[in-house]
Structure 1
Amino acid sequence: MLTTIKQPSAGLLASVVMATWLEQTAAGPVAFLLIAHPPIRRQNETEERIEQQMRGLAEALGLGESHDKMRDAGPRVWLRGQSGAAISLDGTRLAVQLPPVGTQWSTFVAAGGPVCIVVGLDPLPAGAPREVVEQYLADALSYGRSLIGSAAAAPECATIRGHP
């Protein structure tokens, strides 16, 4: 089924479920950011409409299909203090504020470490335990239900795309 991509709304961005962690991979250490949406909560929401917006979010983050070569999403991770971060979106004045990322994650990214951003297209309950998040990620990657890309920290003196 072909879906139309829609620009993510401020409401969607405020409701997404996020998880961050550091992981040792075959390519070396990587900081991860998983962004998913919660199960349908409102009368006017549909799975198709949410997926369109999640695909729009992935497009605004410069991500591609998980079965393709990983895209370089560019320097879009904005570090704030020792454990705060946000990510900028292309084509919009909106940015996504991450939950506290922790000092190790922030220090690793500030030192030039890569951030693998994964946008999941299926619902993930807020506050899901780690084992549920791990299974969600494995399923999303296995079944092509995610979009991914590699990002980096934005230069301190630069501005967020579209933001002064």
Structure 2
Amino acid sequence: MEQLTIRPLPGPGFIATLLTSTWLSAPADVDLVAWLCIAHTGPRRNGEDPESIETNLMDMVHALGLAPASENLPDTGGRLLVSRTGASLHYGHPMSVLRLPRTSRPWIVHAALGGSTVIALGLDPIPPGSGRDAIEEYLHRSSKAGRLYTGATRIRRRWT
């Protein structure tokens, strides 16, 4: 009989240290896609080290149902919460969500209308303030190294 492993979810203290970036892209052969990149900037809190950060990120990977970027894109279910003023990601914590600051109105509208949305969570650190080119390089490098996890998501209609 297979042993069930229950992984704890990181709380708001850790979530507040994450870097998020959102953008819309339209590759030549597919429709518009809303992207959400989640990464960290390295240890920032007392007692934090690269290993504890990676453990917390992997706990999020499991809770969200993400798969290595080299595999087929899994459906993670309804994870996005959107309003006129912003967006958040329900990552599975019973009392906390990951707020997505500076999310553009077109990104929110695309997601709210049921457009394709992809979560990309990287395990390696990325410098704060990284621009679009640096983020794209980060995604390619992390994917090649097997340290990027992805999944398709959509609007969450209910909190529970």
2:149 maps to which residue? 147
Q: How does 1:1-164 map to 2 (within 5 A)?
A: 6-25=8-27, 26-42=29-45, 44-81=47-84, 83-90=85-92, 92-155=94-157, 158=158, 160-161=159-160
Q: Conserved in 2, the CA contact under 8 Å of 1:5 and 1:52? A: no
Given that 1:22 and 1:29 are in contact with CA atoms closer than 8 Å, whether structure 2 keeps it comes out as yes
Provide the rounded CA distance (Å) in 1 between the counterparts of 2:141 and 2:56: 20
Mind listing any 5+ residue stretches in structure 2 that lack a counterpart?
1-5
Mapped contact 1:32–1:117 kept (Cα < 8 A): yes
Gapped runs of 5+ residues in structure 1? none
Shift of 1:89: 2.1
CA distance in 2, matches of 1:124, 1:84: 24
TM-score normalized by structure 2? Answer: 0.88
Describe the SS at the equivalent of 1:74. Answer: strand
What is the alpha-carbon distance in structure 2 between the residues aligned to residue 93 and residue 42 of structure 1? Answer: 21
Q: Deviations over 1:145-164 (max 9, x none)?
A: 11110001122xx2x23xxx
Do the aligned partners of 1:6 and 1:52 also contact (CA within 8 Å) in 2? no
- TM-superposed CA distance for 1:92, in Å, is 3.0
Deviations 1:57-105 (CA, angstroms, capped at 9, x unpaired): 1222221222221110111111110x51011122532211111211111
CA distance in structure 2 between the partners assigned to 1:93 and 1:80 by the alignment = 18
Q: In 1, distance between residues paired with 2:94 and 2:30?
A: 32
% same residue = 31
Instruction: Output the CA distance in 1 between the equivalents of 2:133 and 2:103.
Output: 19
Q: Is the 8 A contact 2:17 2:44 kept in 1?
A: no
Aligned partner of 1:63: which letter?
L
Does the CA-based 8 Å contact 2:78-2:154 persist in structure 1?
yes
Please say if residues 61 and 121 of structure 2, whose CA atoms lie closer than 8 Å, have aligned partners that are also in contact: yes
In 2, the alpha carbon distance for the partners of 1:84 and 1:146 equals 25
Say how many residue pairs are matched: 154
TM-score when normalising by structure 1 = 0.86
* Residue 6 (structure 1) shift: 4.7
User: CA-atom RMSD, angstroms?
Assistant: 1.8
Asked whether the equivalents of residues 9 and 92 of structure 2 are also in contact (C-alpha less than 8 Å), the reply is no
CA shift for structure 1 position 5 = 5.4
